[in-house]
């Protein structure tokens, strides 16, 4: 028991060490839409259920969900991807904002945002409708703007991390977000990134990238081996081998045969035993249409897009055994330091330079519970390797992150607190209140410093809290381990804004800020400038809102003298306290002819008076 507890503490140390680590995610971003319905009858026109929609949920998918998982696990996630100028694109932007992902997506008018719409009844997926076509290629201008966004986001992350090279995650799901010029740029600029993770349906497209880690599914791994050609590997033991035809059919899939290596059939095996239809075979992935593998009805082979794997010749052959036997070749073909072959609910097989395969296991769950679990696996594996964790630790953390996300229907996201809780570790090292005094703040900051946590500091009036404030504070929180917000007192606001401000007293303003999940502590200051608090806190990052360079921030010289960075974050357009107040005033002065003059519901009047 003591050994297990020590191992969990070691894992938790790695989770703490990747807090704030800069990660750039690029690739195919999409929107996951879940529609939950009830059905209690069939329609008259066909033997099909009549559905009554009860609930609809939208979530980030693909590369966007990988970015959400990186942010949720404590990394500093920036997403660069083409997104359509459509309703789905707007919803995807909202998903990224809520997850505190730095949204550096590139608007692509005329190219729709890919969407996966699932309709469920009784938690059973009845159908899935996909929109977004690989044929919707980026035009020349779109490619150019995507490359500019990549370069700018890379430098932005490097600056935010004090010059540290960021981590890169490439998510290529064949939807056209990463055309040849973008792939060439990433290969050419590989040296700008410390750690590179690759998740691609077609790994052959990424020759020359030299990734740190690749995470192919079983189908993607076998497809790569098949396309690489290959002669049979002679062995003297029971190792599996692959045979590949001399050439692919002109219009057909690649094909491999998997069986026992020459001489590997045991002496006590009979011909009947080798051909039994009830022989244990691999458990297949359920969705061959997505390039995955599905078990055939005879129990002898698994098939998928571009590859057929025949297990008839070898007793007990399964995907994990096959993956273990070919890890070295997969590393050679991809140029990766680490290969992690994911097997869905069967876990994963991971191999590194030491040649020692690692096997991890998962818990079988319904397919509707596992959507996006691979994104959680990829995010945790990448963060762990970027934090220099040993490969066995990174593999176990990645599997744990994927496993704990599959408890319910929906797109999987693993949060740092959930991961620490699964490791039986406390999720917060302090129990300090959110609203604190200046004296309390000194002691709190000292405690955080001792724990090695970085401090982000911002200040403002925050008179009428609105969406622009919330997005700004979420982005500020993503720059470090905790966020301290200093709020101007009522007297200070009157001196800065005029005698009719603030609209809300400082007690209300502070309470609302403290209720935000992205805000760790709120402190009130009486002065017109937060200089004294900045001197006391000595923030690692000082943040102000505005579309001007950091050099124009009045507090910038002080922050830099104390060893901190200064960042400015742009506001949400058309969202400001002054504009909201002006709208309220104009409405109150306008006797609108459309106002309903009917007598209000007496029960409503009673509730209003009581409140």
Active site residues: 375
Task: For Cα atoms 133, 136, 141, give the angle at the middle one, nearest 5 degrees.
Answer: 150
CB atoms within 10 A of CB 587: 9
Instruction: Determine contact, residues 502/463, Cβ cutoff 8 Å.
Output: yes
The C-alpha atoms of residue 372 and residue 366 are separated, in whole angstroms, by 13
The C-alpha atoms of residue 379 and residue 603 are separated, in whole angstroms, by 52
Residues 6+ apart with CB under 8 A from 93: 83, 103, 105
Burial of 511 (0-12, 13-18, 19+ CB in 10 A): middle
Q: Which of 408, 383, 293 has its CA nearest to residue 346?
A: 293
Write out the two tokens for 32.
Answer: 């996951």
Q: Phi/psi at 329 (nearest 5 deg)?
A: -70, -40
The C-alpha atoms of residue 156 and residue 141 are separated, in whole angstroms, by 22
Q: How far apart are the first and last CA of the chain?
A: 55
For 284: left if phi > 0, alpha if psi spans -120 to 50, otherwise beta; the answer is beta
CB atoms within 10 A of CB 82: 28
Helix/strand/coil for 71: helix
DSSP state of 217: B
Angle between helices 87-98 and 63-72 (to 10 degrees): 20
Q: Is the peptide bond before 502 cis (omega within 30 degrees of 0)?
A: yes
DSSP state of 212: S
Q: What are residue 482's DSSP bridge partners?
A: 455
Instruction: Determine contact, residues 238/264, Cβ cutoff 8 Å.
Output: yes
The C-alpha atoms of residue 254 and residue 252 are separated, in whole angstroms, by 7
Beta strands in 320-409 (DSSP E): 338-342, 348-351, 358-360
CB atoms within 10 A of CB 525: 17
Helix/strand/coil for 275: coil
Q: Which of 319, 317, 321, 315 has its CA nearest to residue 272?
A: 315
Residues 6+ apart with CB under 8 A from 255: 226, 244, 245, 249, 307, 308
Compute CA distances 8 → 13, 529, 573, whole Å.
9, 45, 45
Q: What is the 3-state secondary structure (H, E, C) of 115-141?
A: EEEEEEECCEEEEEEEECCCCCCCCHH
- DSSP per residue, 360-375: E------GGG-TTHHH
């Amino acid at each position: 028991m003591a050994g297990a507890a020590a191992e969990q503490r070691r894992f938790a140390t790695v989770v703490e060490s990747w807090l704030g680590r800069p990660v750039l995610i690029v690739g195919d971003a999409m929107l996951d839409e879940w529609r939950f319905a009830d059905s209690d009858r069939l329609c008259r026109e066909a033997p099909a259920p009549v559905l009554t929609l009860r609930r609809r949920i939208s979530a980030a998918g693909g590369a966007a969900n990988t970015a959400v998982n990186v942010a949720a696990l404590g990394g500093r996630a920036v997403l660069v991807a083409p997104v359509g100028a459509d309703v789905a694109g707007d919803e995807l932007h909202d998903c990224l904002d809520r997850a505190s992902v730095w949204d550096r997506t590139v608007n692509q008018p005329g190219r729709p945002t890919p969407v996966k719409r699932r309709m469920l009844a009784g938690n059973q997926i009845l159908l899935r409708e996909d929109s977004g076509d690989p044929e919707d290629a980026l035009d020349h201008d779109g490619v150019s703007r995507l490359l500019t966004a990549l370069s700018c986001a890379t430098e932005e992350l490097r600056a935010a991390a004090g010059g540290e090279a960021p981590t890169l995650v490439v998510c290529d799901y064949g939807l056209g977000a990463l055309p040849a010029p973008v792939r060439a740029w990433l290969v050419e600029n590989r040296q700008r990134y410390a750690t590179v993770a690759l998740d691609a349906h077609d790994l052959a497209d990424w020759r020359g990238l030299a990734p740190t880690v690749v995470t192919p599914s079983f189908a993607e791994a076998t497809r790569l081996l098949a396309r690489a050609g290959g002669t049979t590997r002679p062995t003297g033991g029971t190792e599996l081998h692959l045979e590949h035809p001399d050439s692919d059919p002109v219009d057909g899939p690649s094909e491999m045969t998997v069986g026992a290596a020459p001489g590997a059939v045991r002496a006590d095996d009979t011909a009947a035993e080798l051909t039994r239809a009830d022989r244990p075979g691999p458990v297949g992935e359920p969705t061959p249409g997505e390039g995955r593998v599905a078990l055939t009805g005879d129990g002898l082979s698994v098939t998928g897009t571009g590859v057929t794997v025949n297990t008839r010749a070898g007793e007990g052959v399964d995907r994990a055994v096959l993956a273990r036997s070919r890890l070295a070749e997969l590393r050679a073909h991809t140029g990766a330091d680490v290969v992690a072959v994911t097997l869905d609910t069967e876990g994963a097989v991971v191999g590194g330079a030491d040649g020692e395969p690692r096997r991890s296991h998962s818990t079988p769950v319904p397919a509707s519970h596992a959507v996006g679990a691979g994104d959680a696996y990829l995010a945790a594996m990448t963060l762990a390797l970027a934090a220099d964790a040993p490969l066995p630790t990174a593999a176990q953390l990645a599997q744990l992150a994927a496993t704990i996300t599959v408890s319910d229907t929906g797109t999987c996201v693993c949060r740092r607190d959930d991961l620490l809780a699964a490791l039986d570790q406390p999720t917060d090292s302090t129990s300090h209140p959110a609203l604190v005094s200046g004296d309390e703040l000194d002691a709190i900051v000292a405690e955080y410093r001792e724990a090695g946590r970085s401090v982000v500091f911002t200040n403002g009036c925050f008179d009428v809290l609105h969406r622009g404030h919330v997005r700004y504070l979420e982005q500020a929180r993503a720059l470090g381990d905790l966020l301290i917000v200093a709020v101007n007192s009522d007297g200070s606001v009157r001196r800065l804004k005029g005698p009719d401000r603030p609209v809300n007293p400082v007690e209300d303003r502070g309470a609302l800020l403290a209720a935000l999940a992205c805000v760790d502590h709120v402190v009130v200051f009486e002065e017109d400038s937060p200089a004294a608090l900045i001197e006391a806190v000595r923030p690692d990052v000082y943040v102000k809102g505005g579309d001007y360079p950091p050099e124009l921030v009045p507090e910038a010289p002080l922050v830099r003298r104390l060893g901190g960075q200064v960042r400015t974050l742009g506001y949400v357009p058309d969202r400001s306290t002054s504009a909201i107040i002006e709208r309220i005033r104009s409405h109150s002065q306008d006797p609108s002819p459309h106002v309903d003059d009917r007598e209000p519901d007496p029960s409503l009047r009673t509730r209003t008076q009581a409140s």
